[in-house]
Amino acid sequence: MSYVKLDRKMLNWGWKDEPNMVAIWIEILLQANYKDEVWHGEQYPKGTFPTSLAKLSVNTGLSIQQIRGCLARLERTGEISIKSTNKLTRITVNKWEEYQCLEDNDNKQITNEQQTNNNQITTLKEYKNKKNKKNNSIRQFTPPTLDEIENYCRERNNGVDAKKFFEYYSVANWKDSKGNPIKNWKQKMMAVWEKDKPKVEEKKVLDTW
* pLDDT for res 204: 45
Q: How confident is the model at residue 119 (pLDDT cuts 50, 70, 90)?
A: low
| Secondary structure (3-state) at 83 | strand
pLDDT higher at 174 or 130: 174
For the chain, the 3-state helix, strand and coil shares in percent, each to the nearest 5, are 55, 10, 35
Which domains are present in the chain?
8-99 (1.10.10.10), 146-193 (no CATH)
Q: How confident is the model at residue 206 (pLDDT cuts 50, 70, 90)?
A: very low
Cα atoms in the 13 Å half-sphere on the side-chain side of 90: 13
pTM reported for the whole predicted model: 0.47
Distances from the Cα of 95 to the Cα of 19, 48, 65, angstroms: 22, 11, 26
Q: How confident is the model at residue 205 (pLDDT cuts 50, 70, 90)?
A: very low
Chain-centre distance for alpha carbon 4: 25
pLDDT higher at 172 or 97: 172
